[in-house]
Amino acid sequence: MLKSKRLRDVVTVGLLVLFIFTVALCAQSPANNELLKMIPAKTLFCVRVNNFDYTLNQIDQFLAGVSPMPMGVSMLVRMQLANLLGSPQLTGLNTNGSFAVFGVTMPGETTQTNAIPNIFIGVLAPVTDYKQFIEGNTNCTQADDKGISKITMNGDPVMLAAKAGNYALMSWANDYDKLVTMATAISATSSAGLAATLDAANAKQAETEPIWTYGNVQQVSKTFGPIISAKIEEIKTMMKSIEGNQPGASRANIQNVMDMYAGILEVLMKETQSVSIAINPKPNVLNITKTISAVPGTDMAKMLTANNSSQQENTLLTYLEDGAMANFGAIMNTAFWKKLNVRSIDLFAMMGGDSISAEDITEFKTLATNITDCLDGPVAYSISSNAKSKPPFAIKYVIAVKDEKKFDQILDKAMDIMKTSGIMDFYKSMGIETSFNMKRDVDSYKGISISSAKLSMKSTDANSPQAQMITSMYGDGFDYRWGMVDGLFACAVSGDVNSTIRELIDQVKTDSPKQIGAEMKTALSLLPEANKADFVITCNALRLFKMATSFAPIPIPPMDIQTKSNIVIAGKAADGGMVVKIAVPKQHLIEIMSAFMMMQRKTAQ
């Protein structure tokens, strides 16, 4: 049994390592190939922090005015390090250098009683002089005959350390044998380690971005795949025992949903090579770059190809609205969207089980492929919240169409399949009755013929909480209106849909030059080249929260805070990979903090 004081010390150290692992961010650092070469090539994960002191100072600048902590992150981390090492001066530790945390599977087989693989987690901390590091920090003991020193707190060992090049390789106190093996391997190897497995872009990010995290999905799948599969089967068995009192259709639906999630996980584990995330906070914005690499030759790799269309810039971003809850713009990367649509239909079919025939699934895939061929490049969606309406949002979108006749034919065919296939039966088996009706040419406005559709939803049990929630959120369903305007498919979904579609038609037909709104222009300026990305998304968390609270089961005080900033996301596929860039403006965090503080004050009154 651990003494309470020792337990607190161990927890403190663990939180410190986790904090460094996940939060310590920013600053440019000179190329440091030595560190990447020291990390094993088959590492499960790696987190690297460059230019440690400068990074922590950058965090302080970004969090100033946002964080409720009374002291800066840099001071907090240095205090914890000083507590760990027993020296306020952090003697011998190079806090201007690059730190790394990595995990690797050690040799050894799992057993029936212990299915967890033999994992070693190491911390590589740069030192100016390893001897000074050991002798100048009072919590560090002299090395034993295998070169291992203990790092103690209150007399109890909490970590171990060994010399590895210009770094101290540290691990948990109970990983002595693993540390001996890893320190020897790192010192003796002549291979290029992790550096040899990275492409040029990832290697550059690792060496220059403030913080870089990397996950080898194939290695993780090989190590943990059998365990994950076993756990999924356990969950399925557990769900079957719980479903005993459920109707047969409900049991089948739950099983189908479980199969769908298992299928998604299997595809991701088999077809994803690696995932990396680079984080760079600046005083007014936090930039995040996520890179997903596919296994060569897989369907995912074939999907993640560059956009070869002549449309290289989204000309419809002028339709993305200021004040929107979310905006979405895309350039039609044909290979990407075709394969994504087909994959999505496969997953939906898996969830639908026997309620949707194989013939209908094939037809849906054909229509999804054909309608993509009808499009002429850019699309733009705007979603605005309206708490007084049902549904509590309004959607306006425009899609450039190059073959209007074929587009309309495919749309009509899709509507017919919606009625004749088993999709509606599938939703009914889940306790939701749905119907979909479409009418052509029900209205006209400024010479534009307007068509309409209605998606109705209601619970099979009118008195159930599910029924009350559906009615609260969506009323009697979704009303659609659309028309073809100067080569654009203009569509609206809202409570007052007739007014919304007329506003959109006016917007398309106006003769005055179309300009990107001020709010959108500011958002897009955070990510240069976002207008040329395969897709760009803006999201306002406060507006989204405001819509969600409009149908909450308990009253939530309204938030009247003014918000004009947005989180921005842009993604581009090429060469079997996808690069997604995210910008989180500090102003948006300040707005969120102000709103919730205001809500707390109202709740306390």
How many H helices and E strands in the chain? 19, 19
226 within a domain of the structure (yes/no): no
Helix runs in 157-313, H state only: 176-188, 200-208, 217-242, 248-271, 299-303
Q: Domain check: are 476 and 381 in the same one?
A: yes
Whether residues 201 and 308 share a domain: the answer is no
Is 239 within a domain? no
Give me the domain span that covers residue 506: 296-604
Tokens of 257: 């949903």
Residues 563-594: pLDDT tens digits? 889 999 999 999 999 999 999 999 999 998 88
Residues of the chain with pLDDT under 50: 1-31, 248-249
pLDDT of residue 467: 65
pLDDT of res. 252: 56
> What is the predicted pLDDT for the residue at 511?
74
SS3 489: strand
**Structurally, how many domains does the chain consist of?**
2
Task: Indicate if 64 and 170 belong to the same structural domain.
Answer: yes
- Per-residue pLDDT, 234: 77
The predicted pLDDT at position 250 comes to 55
Angle (CA) 119 267 371, round 5° = 150
Tell me: do 426 and 573 sit in the same domain.
yes
Q: What is the pLDDT of residue 307?
A: 81
pLDDT of residue 557: 64
**CA-CA distance, 449 to 484, in Å (whole number)?**
8
Residue 266 lies in a domain: no
Indicate whether 331 and 198 sit together in one domain: no
Residues 477, 436: contact at Cβ < 8 Å?
Answer: no
Please check whether residues 67 and 191 belong to one and the same domain.
yes
What is the CB neighbour count within 10 angstroms for residue 368?
18
Query: Which secondary structure element, helix H or strand E, spans residue 340, and what is its range?
Result: helix 334-352
Residues 181 and 302 in one domain: no
First vs last Cα of the chain: how many Å apart? 47
Asked if residue 553 belongs to a domain, the reply is yes
Residues 355 and 464 in one domain: yes
Calculate ∠ Cα 134-135-139, nearest 5°.
70
Last residue of a domain, one of 215, 250, 278: 215
Q: Do residues 75 and 170 share a domain?
A: yes
Residue 188: inside a domain: yes
Domain end: 215, 235, 255, which one?
Answer: 215
23 CA to centre of own chain: 17
* pLDDT at residue 350 in the model: 74
**200 and 324 part of one domain:** no
pLDDT score for 389:
76
pLDDT of residue 459: 73
Q: Would you say residue 478 lies in a domain?
A: yes
pLDDT at 248: 47
Q: What is the pLDDT of residues 266-306, one digit of tens each?
A: 888 999 999 999 999 999 999 999 999 999 999 999 999 98
Residue that finishes a domain, picked among 158, 192, 215: 215
Same domain, 395 and 533: yes
Note whether residue 286 is domain-resident.
no
The reply to whether 472 falls in a domain is yes
Q: In the structure encoding, which two tokens stand for residue 234, read together?
A: 């356990």
Q: Which of 467, 562, 474 is nearest to 519 (CA)?
A: 562
Could you identify the residue written with the tokens 């044909």? 334
Distance CA 413, CA 418 (A): 9
Q: Look at strands 448-459 and 567-574 and give their pairing.
A: unpaired
Whether residue 29 contacts residue 207, with contact meaning beta carbons closer than 8 Å, is answered with: yes
* Burial tier of 524 (Cβ tally within 10 Å: 0-12, 13-18, 19+): buried
Residue 484 and residue 337 in one domain: yes
